[in-house]
Amino acid sequence: MTETPAELVHLDVDAESAVATITLDSPHNRNALSRQLVSELVDRIALAEADDAVRVVLLRSAGRVFCSGADLSEASTGSMEEGARTIVALQRSIVAASKPVVLELGGPVRAGGIGIVGAADIVVAAASANFALTEVKLGLTPAIISLTLLGRMTSRAAAYTFLTGETFDAAAAVDAGLVTRAVPDDQLAEEVARVCASLATGAPQGLRETKRLLAGDLLARIDAGADEMAELSASLFGSDAAREAMTAFLSRGR
Which domains occur in the chain, in start order? 9-188 (3.90.226.10)
**Packing angle, helices 81-96 and 204-237, rounded to 10:** 160
pLDDT tens-digit map of 222-238: 999 999 999 999 999 98
Cβ-in-10-Å burial (0-12, 13-18, 19+) of 146 comes to: buried
How would residue 254 be classed by pLDDT, with cut points 50, 70 and 90?
A: very low
pLDDT tens-digit map of 111-137: 999 999 999 999 999 999 999 999 999
For residue 245, is pLDDT > 90? Answer: no
Cα angle: 77, vertex 42, 150; to 5 degrees: 80
b/e burial code for range 126-141 (CB count within 10 A of at least 16 → b)? bebbbbbbbbbebbbb
What's the pTM?
0.94
CA distance 108 to 191: 18
How would residue 175 be classed by pLDDT, with cut points 50, 70 and 90?
A: very high
pLDDT tens-digit map of 70-124: 898 886 565 678 889 999 999 999 999 999 999 999 999 999 999 999 999 999 9
Helix (H) or strand (E) holding 202: none
Q: Which residue has the higher pLDDT, 14 or 252?
A: 14
As a whole number, mean pLDDT of residues 144-173 equals 98
Return mean pLDDT, the chain: 94
Alpha helices in 120-252 (DSSP H): 146-149, 155-164, 170-176, 188-200, 204-237, 240-252
Instruction: Encode 203-238 in three state secondary structure.
Output: CHHHHHHHHHHHHHHHHHHHHHHHHHHHHHHHHHHC
